[in-house]
Structure 1
Amino acid sequence: MNGIKKTNGYNFLPHDFLTLFYVIIIIFIVLTHYNSLSFAYMHIFTHLLGVAFIFLIAKYDRNKNKLITLIHYFYPILFFTFIYQETGRLNQLFYDGYFDKLLLYWDTKLFGKSPIYWFYELIPQRIISEYFHFSYAFYYLMVPLTFVYIYKRKKDNVLHYMFTLCFSFYIYYLIFIFFPAVGGRTFADIYAREGYLFKKIVDYIYLTQEIDGGAFPSSHVGIALVCLLNLKRVGGYFYKIMLILVPSLALATVYCGYHYGVDMITGWISGYILYKISSFLYVRYFSN
């Protein structure tokens, strides 16, 4: 299959190289700020475990055991949440505070005032709020569902998907470390408060999983676009569904009060740019 690099008995996949490179960057950041970071040794230890895991699975993945091969393809998706949460522990190493005042200023310049203030007031209906919360919550299923769909429909495209996905996620995580912003979550208790099941689900996710600092650009929007562009390569019914859900998700980031307008806009732009760059790199270096 395109993308497999056999090196000294190891079958590395394209996203293995991206993940190893990101781990090296994080270890370097931790080592150079060792005394400023609580439990710095745990960061290093867990990332070294990650390196060991990648080498082990690259060593034993021979495309003979379907389960091992599937894990090799899929494993970054299992780790994204933990890596994301780690950015919340690293994002005060380079800047003390958050850039929300600047983002609110940009929102004001672009829209007169942040869309968070007026979006919900324009369409406050509870059923509309529930739909946008559903769209927002769907993000957390979008990445693995896209993997499953591409894997089942056109398996040769799954490594391209994983490469573009990892490339985009890791760039976003580095931005969150060096340019932390909380986003519009301070408005979430005021705007889009009504809803039903999916409002409660999103509230629970933010209570238990979200960190301060990972708002700009909106990786929800950027990654959703990366998923959509990968699905466009294989077509089918899920791509058509995503043509509706991805724009809804983008609007939901602002409607639900979790992102500023500039977060959403830069999410669209960055997602497209990251997809194009990563696709070019994949074709240039990994497509046989």
Structure 2
Amino acid sequence: MKQFIIDLFKLEKKPVKGLMAYEWVVMAYLVLTLIVIFFMYTTINNPQAMIFGRLRIVALTAAMWVVYRLAPCRATRFLRVGVQLGLLAWWYPDTFEINRHLPNLDHLFAQWEQDLFGCQPALLFSKALPGPIFSELFDMGYAAYYPMIAATAVYYFGWYYKEFNRATFIILSSFFIYYVIFIFVPVTGPTFYYKAIGLQNVTAGIFPNVHDYFNHHQECLPSPGYTDGIFYHLVEDAKAAGERPTAAFPSSHVGVSTICMLLLWHDRNYKLLAILAPFYLLLCCATVYIQAHYLIDAIAGFITAVILFAILLRISRKMITE
């Protein structure tokens, strides 16, 4: 522990002069969405706030760069990563402010779901396993999403530091790639779409186009399951705090958590992998169980995660700190 603390604040001999790779990813996403905002300026609600929000992120990123340059060490590197990971909570609802003005595609995804599986798994899964034990387990898995990401980042920082920058680059890059997809593929997921069209239409296999409905409505169904559960309320509170009718396809919950598992597999940390595996499996199931995603969203999340991991791992092969 003593050596860890010493290493934490030991000044680097060759500090990075510019932005870290993951910060360049943030800036690239920021510029891309800024261009989209300017193109849609007259239709977006309160575009000035979105622009100023991006300017604040630039300022905060610059401030973290200054802090690191004044004291280039592991602690300030971790601070830079922590800030960008924390800002993901700001970027997520931002996708809705853009894609709410694009044609909604839920009717297509719900119909594809029906054609592929002959039913709506998001509607039937919770009915098949309605008990409090299953409900709480799945809600616990869903709530484990950000702790899993944090555990992966902290592990790389504390025990495999030479690839810490690489791991955080992969995690943050995957987030922003998913965010780009969310903007241009406006799918809200069952909890919003089922609420919009009514469960009677869902059970009848009728999936109408709701057009710009979600530009004016953000109501969703309450999560199914044991309503008195601790984790149930944790998930519901999280939905109430920041959930928006956006970001359903592909499931970034499945995608990013899969990437975290692959990062642990990459380092051969089978102990932590085994500890997180039950939470990972519960999380993947929970995305459909709580009706946050269609089953095809979850499947697409897994497939895209494997592809993204392979690509980003190759791109980042030189991001190893000696």
Q: Normalized against structure 1, the TM-score is what?
A: 0.89
Q: Displacement, 1:75?
A: 1.8
Unaligned 5+ runs, structure 2: 1-13, 195-220
Q: Displacement, 1:115?
A: 0.7
Asked if residue 83 in structure 1 is aligned to residue 116 in structure 2, the reply is no
Change (3 A) 1:236 1:195: farther
Aligned counterpart for 1:227 among listed residues 236, 260, 280 = 260
Aligned counterpart for 2:288 among listed residues 254, 265, 269 = 254
Aligned counterpart for 2:123 among listed residues 106, 114, 117 = 117
Identity within the alignment, %: 26
Q: Displacement, 1:244?
A: 2.0
SS in 2 for 1:192: coil
SS in 2 for 1:116: helix
Alpha carbons 1:116, 1:260 under 8 Å: kept: yes
CA distance, structure 2, for counterparts of residue 246 and residue 190 of structure 1: 19
Aligned counterpart for 1:183 among listed residues 189, 195, 199 = 189
CA distance, structure 2, for counterparts of residue 185 and residue 287 of structure 1: 42
**Match for 1:44: what amino acid?**
I
In the other structure, the counterpart of 2:134 is 128
In the other structure, the counterpart of 1:27 is 34
Change (3 A) 1:240 1:209: same
Alpha carbons 2:163, 2:320 under 8 Å: kept: no
In the other structure, the counterpart of 2:58 is 51
**Match for 1:245: what amino acid?**
F
In the other structure, the counterpart of 1:208 is 241
Q: Displacement, 1:237?
A: 2.8
Unaligned 5+ runs, structure 1: none
Alpha carbons 2:130, 2:226 under 8 Å: kept: no
Alpha carbons 1:5, 1:12 under 8 Å: kept: no
Q: Displacement, 1:17?
A: 1.1
Change (3 A) 1:190 1:142: closer
Q: What CA deviation, in whole Å up to 9, does each residue of 1:172-198 have, x standing for no partner?
A: 111111111111214654743545100
SS in 1 for 2:18: strand
Alpha carbons 1:99, 1:181 under 8 Å: kept: yes
Q: What CA deviation, in whole Å up to 9, does each residue of 1:176-221 have, x standing for no partner?
A: 1111111121465474354510011101111111111111111100
Aligned counterpart for 1:164 among listed residues 170, 174, 188 = 170
Q: What CA deviation, in whole Å up to 9, does each residue of 1:31-68 have, x standing for no partner?
A: 12212122212211221222233234334424545542
Larger Rg: 2
CA distance, structure 2, for counterparts of residue 35 and residue 218 of structure 1: 30
Q: Normalized against structure 2, the TM-score is what?
A: 0.80
SS in 1 for 2:144: helix
CA distance, structure 2, for counterparts of residue 14 and residue 65 of structure 1: 17
CA distance, structure 1, for counterparts of residue 298 and residue 315 of structure 2: 26
Alpha carbons 1:135, 1:249 under 8 Å: kept: yes
**Match for 2:100: what amino acid?**
Q
Compute the RMSD of aligned alpha carbons: 2.2
**Match for 2:147: what amino acid?**
L
Alpha carbons 2:95, 2:183 under 8 Å: kept: yes
Asked if residue 174 in structure 1 is aligned to residue 208 in structure 2, the reply is no
**Match for 2:294: what amino acid?**
Y
Alpha carbons 1:115, 1:260 under 8 Å: kept: yes
Alpha carbons 2:165, 2:319 under 8 Å: kept: no
CA distance, structure 1, for counterparts of residue 223 and residue 170 of structure 2: 36
Q: What CA deviation, in whole Å up to 9, does each residue of 1:262-287 have, x standing for no partner?
A: 1111011111111111111111x545
In the other structure, the counterpart of 1:155 is 161
Aligned counterpart for 1:70 among listed residues 74, 78, 83 = 78
CA distance, structure 2, for counterparts of residue 209 and residue 91 of structure 1: 16
In the other structure, the counterpart of 1:42 is 49
CA distance, structure 2, for counterparts of residue 67 and residue 244 of structure 1: 31
SS in 2 for 1:212: coil
